[in-house]
Amino acid sequence: MSAAGNSALRLKPSQLNTPVAVELVGVNKWYGDFHVLRDINLKVMGGERIVICGPSGSGKSTMIRCINRLEEHQQGKIFVDDVELTNDLKKIDEVRREVGMVFQHFNLFPHLTVLENCALAPIWVRKTPKQDAEDIAMHYLTRVKIPEQAGKYPGQLSGGQQQRVAIARALCMNPKIMLFDEPTSALDPEMVKEVLDTMVGLAEDGMTMLVVSHEMGFARQVANRIVFMDDGQIIEANVPEEFFNHPQHERTKLFLSQILR
């Protein structure tokens, strides 16, 4: 299912400054009394693709949202390309510029056209001249195979198309790391493949990716490691082969038996 497309259009992955892309050290987080992340330790190397799975409510979204500071952690340290996330707004902006994110519900800007959605951040955050930003936007829209939709509004597109625009929008900032939070779970089944194909293409280009997903076929195909979370903890993390064939923990086995049924 290699659908990376025209190789001339493949992006050159941005260079990370350090070999370690993301590092979480002893991260804890609470919502009031509710302990949502418990002592999370995770090290993601540059170019690595991590798929995170686990039951609903286990803290997967919370964890990856801490990586671009959409959520604050209360204990432990998070480093993104050697920048530590603290309350320092400059550091947060720096991290967000380098980390792209794709959401379950796309979160496209409905009042802007597809092209404007994509060119917005390069223009305002990277200060790219408008014409150049639009060229960049068209480049990535071509990459996700919807250049012809550039002039439309998000509401006129199908879910799969919207999610591909969201991916293009994130790529326009030329991020070093991409976060995906269940990118296909709000899509109709027939649209899942077009989005997964786009992501496989990204993986083949060497993008560092953290993907929350229950698409186990995708995980098998692209993941370097699969992380299983339950109850705010990382229960186990392993290469796909081992993870699927020899899960170590009872909870992992139970989860796999439910999801692979």
Partner 1 sequence: MTMSEGDLAVTEIKFVRGATIAARPPPAAMTGALGWLRANLLSSPFNIALTILIALLLAWLIPELVKFLLIDAVWTGADRDACREVVQHREIGACWPFVWERWSYFVYGSYPIPQRWRVDVFFAMLAIGVVWLLWLEAPRRDLGSVYFFIVLPITSFILLTGWSAIGLPPVDTALWGGILVTIVVASVGIVCSLPIGILLALGRRSRMPAVRLFSVVFIEFVRGVPLVTVLFMASVMLPLFVPEEYSPDKLVRALVGIALFASAYMAEVVRAGLQAIPKGQFEGAMAVGLGYWQMIRLIILPQALKITIPNIVNTYIGLFKDTTLVFIVGIFDFLRTVEVARIDPKWAAPVTSTTGYAVAAIFYWIFCYAMSRYARAMEARLAQGDKR
Ligand X SMILES: Nc1ncnc2c1ncn2[C@@H]1O[C@H](COP(=O)(O)OP(=O)(O)O)[C@@H](O)[C@H]1O
Which spans of this chain sit near ligand X (rule: CB under 6 A)? 31, 34, 36, 54, 56-62
> What residue 59 binds from partner 1, ligand X, Mg ion, none (CB within 5 to 8 A, per partner kind)?
ligand X
Closest to partner 1 by CB, 59 or 247: 59
Three-class DSSP category at 19: coil
| Structure-token match 């170590």, residue found | 248
Closest to partner 1 by CB, 100 or 201: 100
> What residue 97 binds from partner 1, Mg ion, ligand X, none (CB within 5 to 8 A, per partner kind)?
partner 1
> By the 8 A CB rule, do 170 and 188 touch?
no
Among positions 75, 107, 248, 257, the unique one binding partner 1 when judged by CB under 8 A: 107
**Alpha-carbon gap, residue 155 to 84, rounded angstroms:** 37
Task: Identify any residues that bridge with 241 across adjacent strands, giving them in sequence order.
Answer: none
CA angle in degrees (0–180, nearest 5) for 165-65-11:
40
Say how many residues make up the chain: 261
Among positions 18, 75, 156, 248, the unique one binding partner 1 when judged by CB under 8 A: 156
Among positions 173, 177, 187, 195, the unique one binding partner 1 when judged by CB under 8 A: 173
Q: What's 87's DSSP letter?
A: S
> By the 8 A CB rule, do 27 and 62 touch?
no
The site for partner 1 (CB under 8 A) is made up of 68, 70, 93, 96-97, 99-101, 103, 105-111, 120-121, 124-125, 153, 155-156, 169-170, 173
